[in-house]
Structure 1
Amino acid sequence: MSYTQTISGTTYTFDGLVDLLAKATPRRSGDELAGCAAESDAERAAAAWQLADLPLTTFLEDPVVPYETDEVTRLIIDTHDRRAFQPIAHLTVGGLRDWFLETAVHENSAARIAAVAPGLTPEMVAAVSKIMRNQDLILAASAATVSAAFRTTIGLPGHISTRLQPNHPTDDPRGIAAATLDGLLMGCGDAVIGINPATDSPHATADLLRLLDDIRQRFAIPMQSCVLSHVTTTIDMIDQGIPVDLVFQSIAGTESANSSFGIDISILREANEAGRSLHRGTVGDNLMYLETGQGSALSANAHLGTGGKPVDQQTLEVRAYAVARILEPLLVNTVVGFIGPEYLYDGKQIIRAGLEDHFCGKILGLPMGVDVCYTNHAEADQDDMDTLLTLLGVAGAAFVIAVPGADDVMLGYQSLSFHDALYVRRTLGLRPAPEFETWLAGLGMVDPEGRIMPVDLDTSPLRSLTVAR
Structure 2
Amino acid sequence: MPQFRIALGGETFSFDSLATVMARATPSRSGDHLAGIAATSDVERVAAQYVLADLPLKTFLAQPLIPYEADEVTRLICDTHDVAAFAPVAHMTVGQFRDWLLLDSTDGAALAALSPGLTPEMVAAVSKLMRNRDLIAVARKVQVISAFRSTLGLSGRIGSRLQPNHPADDLQGIVASTLDGLSYAVGDAVIGVNPATDNIPTAKTLLQVLDDLRQRFDIPTQTCVLTHVTNSLDLIEQGAPVDLVFQSVAGTEAANDGFGVTLAMLQEAQDAALSLQRGTVGQNAMYFETGQGAALSANAHHGVDQQTLEARAYGVARAFDPLLVNTVVGFIGPEYLFDGKEIIRAGLEDHFCGKLLGLPMGCDVCYTNHTQADQDDMDVLMTLLADARAHFLIAVPGADDVMLNYQSLSFHDIAYLRHSLGLRAAPEFETWLGNMGLTGPTGHLAEQGAQKLLEGAR
TM norm structure 2: 0.99
Partner of 2:408: 415
State the partner residue of 1:255: 253
Which residue of structure 2 aligns with residue 367 of structure 1? 360
Q: Distance in 2 between matches of 1:456 and 1:223?
A: 18
Is 1:160 the counterpart of 2:158 in the alignment?
Answer: yes
State the partner residue of 1:463.
455
1:309-458 map, 5 Å: 310-455=303-448, 457-458=450-451
Whole-angstrom CA distance in 2 between matches of 1:183 and 1:328: 27
CA–CA separation in structure 1 for the residues paired with 2:18 and 2:191: 41
CA distance in 2, matches of 1:61, 1:78: 13
What's the % identity of the aligned pairs? 64
Q: Which amino acid aligns with 1:168?
A: H
The answer to whether residue 29 in structure 2 is matched with residue 28 in structure 1 is: yes
Amino acid at match of 1:298: L
Show structure 1 runs of 5+ residues with no match. 305-309
Q: For residue 318 of structure 1, what is the amino acid of its counterpart?
A: A
Q: Separation in 1 of the partners of 2:41 and 2:455?
A: 58
C-alpha contact (below 8 Å) 1:219/1:462 kept by paired residues: no
The one-letter amino acid paired with 1:275 is: A
Q: Is 1:289 the equivalent of 2:284? A: no
1:47 aligns with 48
Give the whole-Å Cα distance in 1 for the aligned partners of 2:449 and 2:19: 58
Contact 2:183 2:449 in 1 (8 A): no
- The 3-state SS of whatever aligns with 1:274 is helix
- Specify the code of the residue in structure 2 equivalent to 1:19: T
Partner of 2:244: 246
Per-residue deviation at 1:110?
A: 1.1
Question: Which amino acid in 2 is paired with 1:40?
Answer: S
What secondary structure does 1:143 align onto? Answer: coil
Residues 63-105 of structure 1: per-residue CA shift (max 9 Å, x gap): 0001001000001011100000011000000111111101xx2
For 1:430 and 1:456, how far apart are their aligned partners in 2? Answer: 20
Equivalences for 1:98-117 in 2 at 5 Å?
A: 98-102=99-103, 105-106=104-105, 109-117=107-115
Shift of 1:180: 0.3
Is 1:73 paired with 2:74?
Answer: yes
Would you identify which runs of 4 or more consecutive aligned residues in structure 1 move more than 6 Å? none
Q: Structure 1 residue 444: deviation in Å?
A: 1.9
CA offsets 1:194-214 (integer angstroms, 9 cap, x no match): 000011111010000000000
Which letter maps to 1:127? Answer: A
Aligned residue identity for 2:455: R
Matched-pair contact (CA < 8 Å) for 2:438–2:449: no
Letter in 2 for 1:399: F
- The alignment's C-alpha RMSD in Å is 1.0
Determine if contact 1:425/1:451 at 8 Å carries over to the other structure. Answer: no
Once the two structures are TM-superposed, the CA of residue 325 in structure 1 deviates from its matched residue by 0.5
Q: Is the 8 A contact 1:345 1:378 kept in 2?
A: yes
CA contact (8 A) 1:185 1:455 kept: no
Alpha-carbon distance in structure 2 between the residues aligned to 1:45 and 1:157 = 37
How far apart, in 1, do the equivalents of 2:91 and 2:439 lie?
A: 49
Structure 2 partner of 1:88: 89
Give, in whole Å, the separation in 1 of the partners of 2:78 and 2:453: 52
Amino acid at match of 1:242: A
